[in-house]
Amino acid sequence: MKIVIAGGAGTLGRSLSRSLLADGHEVVVLTRTPGRRPVPGAAEVGWDPSEIAPWAHVLESDGPIAVVNLAGKLVDCRPTEENIRELRESRVRATSALVAASQRLSRPVDRWLQGSTIGLFDDTGELRITEQTPDPVDGLPQMTGVVLPWEKASEGANAARKVTIRTSIALDAHTPALDRLLLPARLGFGGPIAGGRQWFSWIHVDDWVRIARAALGLEPGIVIPDGPVIAAAPNPVRNVELMRELRRAVHMPIGLPTPAFLMRIAAVALRTDPLLALTGRHTVSTVLAEAGFEFRFPTLRGALEDLLGTP
């Protein structure tokens, strides 16, 4: 299969590209910065979503073809009006451009994997979120206000099959997301944040790749139906357990708690969004369970041990 990955230079795109290439598939990465983070074996095509003509030809193929849309500004930034607007518009512009390019084709692409996040649901407290949970109609600007228009922008895609992958916090070694989580634990501030009751849904990058492959029809015996699928491990944890496991992973015996006000101050210094730590979602996938998908890393401890190489 030929797979075109928009935003393929990011952590998830690179991991998926390597897996696909290992199986002999053709991978084309649409990137704004060709040559910056190339994946050996993948073709790179520079693109600007505001100009479709120079790159639209990459969606053409005589054989099976799929589109994976992961494009968008990284969410780890201060929640200013400008940043929130760019978070939203970078995703909507890229998605709208891909949809417009697909509509020029003489036939639909075989598979479309649309990126999304569980941030669609804001802070859900004790509510258990599955694929059957109704989508919100509004919410926090930096969460629902970004994710909802991102998903809606893909509705006109010219595709025979389309899955929207709502990703939780993806854990991968030596990446900003995991480094952000480990930093307070390494500094001795690995205690509960704001009381520690907020839920933390997560997924090991290897399991995310397998879900993405299944959505592309490339995992034997696993059929993912069209529609949303939640990419989250089956065992979410509360923040207090998350911080305990992070302390264990870095062998730090102490962990001072972080009140909410201090988290907000620290977020300014770290140039990040405090709501990434102060809000939470309890998400699990009924779609994956019904499809018979088995997680290789169902527990947070096992995932951290694998990623960090620690017992």
Got the DSSP string for 199-243? Answer: EE-EEEHHHHHHHHHHHTT-STT--PPSEEEEE--S--EEHHHHH
Q: Which domain holds residue 167?
A: 2-171+201-233
In a domain, 289, yes or no: no
In a domain, 32, yes or no: yes
Q: What is the pLDDT of residues 85-139, one digit of tens each?
A: 999 999 999 999 999 999 999 999 999 999 999 999 989 999 999 999 999 988 9
Confidence of residue 9 (pLDDT cuts 50, 70, 90): confident
Which runs of consecutive H residues, i.e. helices, occur in the chain? Answer: 11-22, 81-102, 144-152, 176-186, 205-215, 239-249, 260-270, 275-278, 286-291, 300-308
Rounded Cα gap, residues 215 and 33, in angstroms: 27
3-state helix, strand, coil in the chain (%, to 5): 35, 20, 45
Residue 142, token pair as written in the block: 């930096």
Identify the CA nearest to 245 among candidates 175, 297, 210.
Answer: 297
What pTM was estimated for this model as a whole? 0.96
In a domain, 253, yes or no: no
In a domain, 147, yes or no: yes
In a domain, 45, yes or no: yes
**pLDDT of amino acid 175:** 84
Contact 239, 257 (CB under 8 A): no
Burial of residue 169, with CB atoms counted within 10 A of its CB: 0-12 exposed, 13-18 middle, 19 or more buried: buried
Which CATH number characterizes residue 17's domain?
3.40.50.720
Rounded Cα gap, residues 271 and 268, in angstroms: 5
Q: What is the DSSP letter of 274?
A: T
Q: Give the Å distances, CA to CA, from 295 to 99, 300, 302, 311.
A: 32, 12, 11, 20
In a domain, 141, yes or no: yes
* Dihedral of alpha carbons 180, 181, 185, 189, sign: positive
Rounded Cα gap, residues 279 and 163, in angstroms: 26
Residue 292, token pair as written in the block: 């018979």
In a domain, 278, yes or no: no
Confidence of residue 269 (pLDDT cuts 50, 70, 90): confident
In a domain, 36, yes or no: yes
Q: How many domains does the chain have?
A: 1
**pLDDT of amino acid 92:** 97
Rounded Cα gap, residues 118 and 132, in angstroms: 13
Q: What is the pLDDT of residues 205-233, one digit of tens each?
A: 999 999 999 999 999 999 999 999 999 99
